[in-house]
A and B are shown apart, each in its own frame.
Chain A
């Protein structure tokens, strides 16, 4: 069966450290993988998109890697801040037709 698993439901990290979130998938062949942030009571906000032929993408303090052999994406937030506390979702797109399959999310808490 198809699965998208994010490493843990919740992750606590000290301010200033690097947070690493994992997204593993089975029985998908994504053309794209995206990461979103969701705050309570709000819709997800797009952070980064990485294509199947890309290994790594960066944006400011964010970095995402994509390993299609391992069927895994890692999402890093460097120099984490309390404002980074939120739920982070990975999403796969197999067809490029805006049909996203989402993981269950990891709730990140950055402790001051």
Chain B
């Protein structure tokens, strides 16, 4: 099976712009979670989608949003970018719900905000 894929891998934006990141889960996986990783804060949970519904949301401002499509692919959007949004954005997919299952992470999208 192909792993979790994320596009693009690298992105450079300027403050005030918006960005959309994409995640394709492993085939058959219906849950997709998004995380932000920074050197200072580590890995922090953004939100999780299952069957096109957001089930959980982390403690991030409303500028961070996401969605999931019927084929389980997911996108996250960050509007009005700030310098502090520079981070590695990771998505992870898993198959079982509602019980926790192994999460398979993608390689991440490295976002740099100038």
Interface, chain A (partner B; CB < 8 A): 31-32, 34, 36, 41-46, 49, 89, 91, 93, 95-105
The answer to whether A44 touches B90, judged by C-beta atoms less than 8 angstroms apart, is yes
The answer to whether B42 touches A103, judged by C-beta atoms less than 8 angstroms apart, is yes
Choose one: A31, A46, A103; the contact of B103 (CB below 8 Å). A46
The answer to whether A98 touches B43, judged by C-beta atoms less than 8 angstroms apart, is no
Q: Is B70 an interface residue (CB 8 A)?
A: no
Q: Is B55 an interface residue (CB 8 A)?
A: yes
Whole-angstrom distance from the CB of A2 to the nearest CB of chain B? 11
The answer to whether A99 touches B42, judged by C-beta atoms less than 8 angstroms apart, is no
Whole-angstrom distance from the CB of A98 to the nearest CB of chain B? 5
**Which residue of B is nearest A102, CB measured?**
B43
**Cα distance A101–B108 in the bound complex, in angstroms:** 18
The answer to whether A31 touches B92, judged by C-beta atoms less than 8 angstroms apart, is no
**Cα distance A103–B37 in the bound complex, in angstroms:** 11
Interface, chain B (partner A; CB < 8 A): 4, 31, 33, 35, 42-45, 48, 50, 55-56, 58, 90, 92, 94, 97-108
The answer to whether A89 touches B56, judged by C-beta atoms less than 8 angstroms apart, is no
The answer to whether B108 touches A43, judged by C-beta atoms less than 8 angstroms apart, is yes
The answer to whether A97 touches B98, judged by C-beta atoms less than 8 angstroms apart, is yes
The answer to whether A32 touches B104, judged by C-beta atoms less than 8 angstroms apart, is no
The answer to whether A97 touches B104, judged by C-beta atoms less than 8 angstroms apart, is no
**Cα distance A70–B63 in the bound complex, in angstroms:** 38
The answer to whether A45 touches B43, judged by C-beta atoms less than 8 angstroms apart, is no
**Which residue of A is nearest B31, CB measured?**
A98
Choose one: B31, B102, B106; the contact of A49 (CB below 8 Å). B102
